[in-house]
Amino acid sequence: MQLENSQKPLPIGRCVIEESTSPPEEPPQGLETAQIRTQDVAQPNSSAQEFPHSVFPDSMIVYLTFLLGYLSLASSLTATIYFPIIDLLSERYHTSVQAINLTITLYVVLQGIAPSFFSPLSDTLGRRPVFLLTFTIYLLAGAGLVANTDSYVALILLRGLQSIGGSAVLSLAYAVVADIVPHSQRGSVLGPMLAATNLGPCIGPVVGGGAILVSGNPRWCFATSRYSEHRHSCS
């Protein structure tokens, strides 16, 4: 009798109740943190997207588009401005046509090298100081070309300085566009700016040839380019 009482089985319902009332296992704390971070990445803060990339209004961006295009004419315009008067320059400076062509070659070479120095400098000093520095060099070189009468050495040195001062404009203009214009609007700014840059080699010989045709003096070719430089610096 005692053996039968000690081996009495437990009720089945009681076992089911005990199993169902056991607390659920909690996930590790590291897993919860990873899930929260994943949700933050999937759903970024909408308030951060409301701020514009540029604080400038559209009217100012339009103004800067035309200003940068006008400034970009400096290097490309003076590169070809005395193509029609190479023979006259060879007589004026008592040298050969090949020597005058060397001044054009030097201009193009320095035009490709100078931006690699001025562009990093603008990241350190700012765009405006480097713009003023390069246009000061450009303006002084143009004044020297007007004053020079018969020295070929002065001609080639001043043309090199003119190229150094004017060639950094295009890279600086790109930097200004990247600073102030959102990605979605950069095409509308770079298009007119580059159109003005490409217009320079086209109208350069026309401007230089027209100045010589009216005045008959090769000096007016450089005077015309210097007037353009002065307008650029005033802008």
- What pLDDT is stored for residue 226 in this prediction? 53
d(CA 29, CA 74): 64
Cβ atoms within 10 Å of 166's Cβ, excluding its own: 33
Three-state DSSP class for residue 148: coil
The amino acid at 151: S
- What pLDDT is stored for residue 152 in this prediction? 92
- What pLDDT is stored for residue 188 in this prediction? 86
CATH number of 57-234: 1.20.1250.20
- Say which range, 15-24, 83-92, 169-178, has the weakest mean pLDDT: 15-24
pLDDT at residue 157 is higher than 80? yes
Are 142 and 222 in contact by the 8 Å Cβ rule? The answer is yes
d(CA 169, CA 115): 8
Mean pLDDT of the chain: 75
- Selection from 161, 137, 146, 156 nearest residue 232 by Cα: 137
pLDDT at residue 155 is higher than 80? yes
* Whole-prediction pTM: 0.68
Percent of the chain clearing pLDDT 90 (strictly above): 12
Domain extent listing, the chain: 16-48, 57-234
Q: What is the token pair recorded at 44?
A: 């970024």
pLDDT at residue 38 is higher than 50? no
